[in-house]
Structure 1
Amino acid sequence: MNNKEKYRTVRGYELLKRDKEQLTHSMEDYMEMIYRNAMKDGYIRMNVLAEQLNVQVSSATKMVQKLARLGLLHYQKYGLVHLTDRGKEIGNFLLHRHNIILEFLKLLGVEDRILANTEVIEHGVNVDVLKYIHLLNRFFHSDPSVKEKFEAFKETYGHN
């Protein structure tokens, strides 16, 4: 550990991250879900967004208004939600990050609460670590025997 890097609580790391970014974890979840729908339809309706995120329409509306003020999407009362170009860029990254973590957990053999675990991990991982996880995913896929060796190792030393 270098002199500039200090141990912090999880909350401390979140605050440091927040100083560098504008999006909270909740905002990221909304952006990812909006992006998922925008990829198919080009927009999302507020009631659909609320349903998909298991929140009240009023809560979804408040968050969408915040994201609109940040210039990430366009929203008119009782209308459709459309991403801006910047919103599409962020949404694409967030979905990509989600998929990398999900794939990693699947490769490890995680089955229990895989989506919940993906959500927890994706909000805490930084871009550099994400790149290494993506590289490790690619390594597992590059040679099927690697996955087989890992499965055998888990049988011997793991806790199945």
Structure 2
Amino acid sequence: MASRPKSVPRDEPLPDAEVHSEGFRQTREARRSALVEDYVELIADLIEDGNEARQVDIAARLGVAQPTVAKMLTRLCAEGLVSRKPYRGIFLTEAGRKVADESRIRHQTVEAFLRALGVSAETARIDAEGIEHHVSAETLEAFRRAMAKGL
């Protein structure tokens, strides 16, 4: 008969419910905004690379089907982050550019911090894609301070 694994004890007691729920609320919000941020950041990258941001290119780079991209672009248009013109590419609005810039700065900070810890360039790039959406401004600032001090 197999024995049950022992649970790892918590270092601290559970916080009160209001404080505890705030962490989960922030995580849910980060999940909701992560996809939007990924799309607008990619659109900005495609435009800055000298190419037009087209639905087919977005689908290829995100590894999703074109109908998935079309649905998200409709959402991004409704949220005022992108505009589309028939037979032309996708363009960021001023609000979309702001979201893309903020997301890129978070990504660069997280990636640089991971690299400073000794994580390989490829792993740091991949891990930063997920972490950037969940990291708080306070933590980003701590990353920057640590890197400024040479870790």
* Structure 2 match to 1:118: 128
Q: What is residue 99 of structure 2 aligned with on the other side?
A: 90
2:76 corresponding residue in structure 1: 67
Write the distance in 1 (CA, Å) between the matches of 2:37 and 2:47: 15
- Kindly tell me: are residues 65 and 133 of structure 1, through their superposed partners in 2, closer, same or farther at Cα, counting changes over 3 Å? same
Residue number in structure 2 paired with 1:45: 54
In structure 2, the residue matched to 1:25 is 34
SS at match of 1:82: strand
Between Structure 1 and Structure 2, how many residues are aligned? 136
User: In the alignment, which residue of structure 2 is the partner of 1:137?
Assistant: 147
Corresponding residue of 1:56: 65
Gaps of 5+ in 1: 141-145, 147-160
Aligned mates of 1:43, 1:72 — CA distance in 2: 16
Matched, 1:14 2:23: no
Unpaired runs of at least 5, structure 2 = 1-14
The TM-score normalised by the length of structure 2 is 0.76
- TM-score, normalised to structure 1, is 0.72
- Deviating more after overlay: 42-51 vs 112-121: 112-121
**Corresponding residue of 2:7:** none
Preserved CA contact (<8 Å) 2:37 2:103: yes
- Greater RCO, CA 8 A, separation 6+: 2
In the aligned structure 2, how far is the partner of 1:76 from the partner of 1:82?
8
Q: Which moved more, 1:101-110 or 1:36-45?
A: 36-45
Deviation by residue 1:46-66 (Cα, 9 ceiling, x = unmatched): 111111111111111111110
> Contact between 1:44 and 1:80, CA under 8 Å: does it hold in 2?
yes
Q: For the residues of structure 1 that align with 2:144 and 2:52, how far apart are their CA atoms?
A: 29
What is the aligned-residue RMSD (CA, Å)?
A: 2.7
Shift of 1:78: 5.0
